[in-house]
Structure 1
């Protein structure tokens, strides 16, 4: 499935590309993106094309922090209407919940999910769709922007516990130090921000209930116009819930506020089922995880929702016609 995002995602791309000696317009053309999208931040463009653009630009520049450099100067206004959602909520928790609810108006390929345990909260991001192999630059851009937005909402004095990345550490951490000013951990099980659970209930100073109502009405109207299908809704929830090991059609139905029969019936009308979507998402994620490095297969199994490596291995063999090790070796040749 093809996902889209607002061309605002390319804010300051040209400036960053030039600063590291890369021809931005050549890279845009190679990624199949028209230069005209730079003139209007509300044009919807393919998310996978943007991911390819960022990875190719990083390779051309010989750096591994291209996406984070783009995030470094982002402002809340770059999120368009979604920026108002962040500012016009009473607490950070409500701001994040509203952001997650309306996020597809900004980026159809991004899922934001909040998990709490032991006094800590994880604000996790997952990119669906995309391209086989590395999504490092897109991930860095998303987490960098998310951190900057939270800092704007809560004030510059706010600091999370840890910024977590699934990919390896870069050769130079200078940009991470400038952007985050907080501990950064690599080769983690998720991409996201860890903070105190109490931070989620921190008051948002800019909250205005009258303005919040107006913003909500406006965005609700935009959601109706966007016509998200049941398969889209289920797919986003599957991506968010798979790593927890608690992904099921009943859980999906609970999140959607309907019963499982309604979910199954509406999926069937599109020629889909809960299990077919789970399989599709797993194939997409496994391709990315196995392609992007030497992550232990036990971790990959957990990240795609299997309780054991043996169960994952049987599933992989059934879908790809070979063992994981054989598939990975063939890819490396």
Structure 2
């Protein structure tokens, strides 16, 4: 199953790319990422494409600290609903536990394992689907994001005990040293942030128990993430229809695959792209036509119809009445056959 990440992870990519001499849109096309995700932070994109973009950007710019530059612009603010629940925890330790528990809501392919040994706590980073070949920028971004989150909670002067990286030491370690400000261990057995166990007991002055409880319930509702191809495609189709540009090619971009792959996986689920699109259109159109000031031609374009007349034929076949009738409240009785079934 394709792992997805919120496109909010790309919020600062254009600025960072331009700062090292890259054309962000050109790089995103090379990585096969939809440009629309720059304007819609809650869209889901393929983790593999996101990682590819980071590595390509570092290689083409020569900026081997590209992942650190991304983390320096983002951190907690890019994590969306996960950031809210982390900030409201009573202690740094509880906040780190919440981060580890809910990080997958932001990034399907990222896991955090919190382990305590004596006076030291290790936050180990695991990137699902990583390859033996280097993913240095993704590792740097993941570890630096965790580091920034803890720093926000503990204060600007906080530093880790150590930072561990499984990859070999870069030729120039100065950027990593300046960023983390602590001993660095390369060729380690784990990618991890090490901190003092005493840090876990630090109180978070801004926390609010009632707000934390409310946010936990809300985040757990979000945590019912779609698991099958059908559910994930359904989610992306719903997002793209809201933006007015939904095709199977656009959906394939979000999964970093081809349209044939989408069709094949959906067939294995016993459905099709057209069936998912039809169901989402039916759900959205009844909301859109309630606004009598919204032109039907504009609604037809948003839903991807070639013309208003095509939408009108589809609507009558789907609902058994015209759009005008629907707006007037004149609708066929429940269970009556639609025009397409007659």
TM-score range, shorter chain: 0.5 to 0.7
- Cα distance change, pair 228–93 in 1 and its aligned pair in 2 (3 A): farther
Shift of 1:227: 4.4
What are the equivalent positions in structure 2 for 1:49-60 lying under 5 Å apart? 49-60=49-60
2-structure distance, mates of 1:130, 1:38: 25
What are the equivalent positions in structure 2 for 1:133-152 lying under 5 Å apart? 133-152=133-152
Shift of 1:119: 1.8
Shift of 1:220: 1.2
Shift of 1:223: 1.3
Shift of 1:142: 0.9
- Cα distance change, pair 45–132 in 1 and its aligned pair in 2 (3 A): farther
1:97 aligns with 2:97: yes
Shift of 1:118: 2.8
Shift of 1:151: 0.4
Runs of 4+ with deviation above 6 angstroms = none
Q: Which has the larger radius of gyration?
A: 2
Matched position secondary structure for 2:223: helix
Matched with 1:187 is: 187
2-structure distance, mates of 1:114, 1:5: 22
Q: Deviations over 1:3-44 (max 9, x none)?
A: 001111112111111111222211111111011101111111
**The 10-residue stretch of structure 1 (42-51 or 93-102) with the greater mean CA deviation from structure 2:** 93-102
Shift of 1:228: 5.1
What are the equivalent positions in structure 2 for 1:1-333 lying under 5 Å apart? 1-131=1-131, 133-224=133-224, 226-227=225-226
Q: Deviations over 1:114-135 (max 9, x none)?
A: 1111321111111002455111
Shift of 1:75: 4.3
**Does the 8 Å CA contact 2:67/2:141 hold for their aligned counterparts?**
yes
2-structure distance, mates of 1:133, 1:28: 21
Matched position secondary structure for 2:123: strand
Q: Deviations over 1:98-129 (max 9, x none)?
A: 12221121000000001111321111111002
1-structure distance, mates of 2:154, 2:148: 10
**Does the 8 Å CA contact 1:51/1:131 hold for their aligned counterparts?**
no
**Does the 8 Å CA contact 2:109/2:128 hold for their aligned counterparts?**
yes
Matched position secondary structure for 2:73: coil
**Does the 8 Å CA contact 2:163/2:183 hold for their aligned counterparts?**
yes
**The 10-residue stretch of structure 1 (105-114 or 92-101) with the greater mean CA deviation from structure 2:** 92-101
Question: CA RMSD for the aligned pairs?
Answer: 1.8
Shift of 1:157: 2.3
Q: Deviations over 1:224-281 (max 9, x none)?
A: 3x1458xxxxxxxxxxxxxxxxxxxxxxxxxxxxxxxxxxxxxxxx9xxxxxxxxxxx
1-structure distance, mates of 2:145, 2:84: 15
**Does the 8 Å CA contact 2:86/2:96 hold for their aligned counterparts?**
yes
| Structure 2 portions without partners, runs of 5+ | 229-268, 270-342
**Does the 8 Å CA contact 1:92/1:199 hold for their aligned counterparts?**
yes
Q: Deviations over 1:260-308 (max 9, x none)?
A: xxxxxxxxxx9xxxxxxxxxxxxxxxxxxxxxxxxxxxxxxxxxxxxxx
**What's the TM-score, normalizing by structure 2?**
0.64
1-structure distance, mates of 2:70, 2:104: 21
2-structure distance, mates of 1:157, 1:54: 29
- Cα distance change, pair 131–29 in 1 and its aligned pair in 2 (3 A): farther
Matched with 2:289 is: none
Matched with 1:321 is: none
